[in-house]
Structure 1
Amino acid sequence: MTKSRDEYRELGGRGEEMAEQLSYEIDFLSRWLPSKLGEDETAKIVDATIDELGLSGDPGAAGRVIGAIMKSRGNDLDGAVVNRLVRERLG
């Protein structure tokens, strides 16, 4: 929803009303959604998992690392952030 809100804001005046509605909905619904860990905490988990699996420097192993992380901590993490951090660290 945040992506949609940002896209409406980019439209300027035409999309501002819809962006405001989406902002309200995001704020309202976020009360019941579990909070995700921040990027720093996620980076620590990514680094630890890469070390545990011994896959440092192997870009082809990104799927294995992401799978292991999401299987163990998926509810706490933003998958897009995990994906980006794993790919950055593996090269």
Structure 2
Amino acid sequence: MSLKQQLIDDMKAAMKAGEKERLAVIRLINAAIKQKEVDERVEMTDPLVMAVLEKMVKQRKDSIAQYEAAGREDLAAQERYEMQVIEAYLPAKLGEAEILAEIDKAIAATGASSAADMGKLMGALKTALAGRADMGLVSKLVKQKLG
């Protein structure tokens, strides 16, 4: 079953169970997916849906930081809940050791040896680690390896 279909099924289940908060978050996800389909005129595949979900998680993280800085814990808590529901649809994140192993494999595959090769290396890693790792952390680890 595709991720998009899973979201639709979960939306129906949330409606039947009366889970209003969860239903609202799933509707937000479906709206973002539909918006991307309309804007780009593409059929959403699982990798494209995961990219939308990752973007939504990143937006929630930024919002949480801003709400906490402004002392609005009530809004930060709502964003945390939304982030938790969205992350449930993403694959489990890799640990730092697993990311380093992927970086070593990519270095061997691309022949990267200096910071000048970082773009080529990050391009290879982005496809290999899509949805499974925080690319900010990956970038930091790549800089350490090549620096």
TM range (shorter): 0.7 to 0.9
Moved more, 70-79 or 2-11: 70-79
User: Residues 20, 73 of structure 1: CA spacing in aligned structure 2 closer, same or farther, 3 A cutoff?
Assistant: closer
Aligned residue type for 2:99? T
Please tell me whether Structure 1 or Structure 2 has the larger radius of gyration of its CA atoms.
Answer: 2
TM-score scaled by length of structure 1: 0.79
Give deviations 1:4-46, integer Å, cap 9, x for gaps: 212211222xx21110111111122222222221222111211
TM-score scaled by length of structure 2: 0.53
**SS in structure 2 of the partner of residue 75 of structure 1:** coil
User: Residues 40, 32 of structure 1: CA spacing in aligned structure 2 closer, same or farther, 3 A cutoff?
Assistant: same
Higher relative contact order (CA 8 A, sep 6+): 1
What's the C-alpha RMSD, in Å, of the aligned pairs?
A: 1.7
User: Residues 31, 82 of structure 1: CA spacing in aligned structure 2 closer, same or farther, 3 A cutoff?
Assistant: same
Aligned residue type for 2:124? A
Aligned pairs, number: 88
Structure 2 matches for 1:34-73, cutoff 5 A?
34-56=91-113, 58-73=114-129
Structure 1: runs of 5 or more not aligned: none
Match of 1:8 in 2: 67
% identical equivalent positions: 32
Aligned residue type for 2:82? E
1:68, CA displacement in angstroms? 1.2
Structure 2: runs of 5 or more not aligned: 1-59
Moved more, 62-71 or 42-51: 42-51
